[in-house]
């Protein structure tokens, strides 16, 4: 089990110079320990990448959907996603999630 700082987590989410190294660490030991607020730091880093045009909004939506699919174990049936982002909600519905509120309504 290893402690992961957000700077080591971000390259697992979006391809960067440190992605290969971070992926090898994860392959060595898949038990990841993070600080309670690491998700906040990761989101902040992703938003910064969007502002710097190193990551576009569509890729950020894809990351959210990928995270939901990972959480659902790849099987979205029976799982609920809450989002107020209509585009993300429609994509989640296409994957098989139940989305609340219904973005098609």
Place of tokens 């960067």: 16
Give the pLDDT score at 64. Answer: 85
| pLDDT bracket for residue 42 (50, 70, 90) | confident
% residues pLDDT > 90 (the chain)? 52
**If you average pLDDT over every residue of the chain, what do you get?**
89
pLDDT for 58 beyond 80: no
Alpha-carbon distance of 44 to 9, in angstroms, equals 12
pLDDT, tens digit (0-9, with 9 covering 90-100), for 67-97: 888 888 878 999 999 999 999 999 999 999 9
Give the pLDDT score at 55. Answer: 83
Over residues 30-39, the mean pLDDT reads: 88
Q: Where are the domains of the chain?
A: 1-55, 65-105
Alpha-carbon distance of 20 to 12, in angstroms, equals 9
């Amino acid at each position: 089990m290893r402690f992961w700082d957000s700077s080591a987590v971000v390259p697992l989410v979006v391809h960067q110079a440190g992605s290969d190294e971070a992926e090898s660490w994860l392959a060595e030991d898949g038990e990841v320990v993070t600080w309670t607020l690491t998700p906040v730091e990761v989101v902040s880093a992703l938003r910064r990448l969007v502002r710097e045009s190193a990551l576009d909004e569509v890729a950020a939506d894809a990351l959210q959907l990928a995270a939901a699919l990972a959480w659902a174990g790849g099987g979205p049936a029976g799982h609920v996603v809450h989002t107020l982002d209509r585009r993300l909600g429609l994509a989640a519905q296409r994957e098989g999630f139940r989305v609340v509120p219904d973005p098609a309504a």
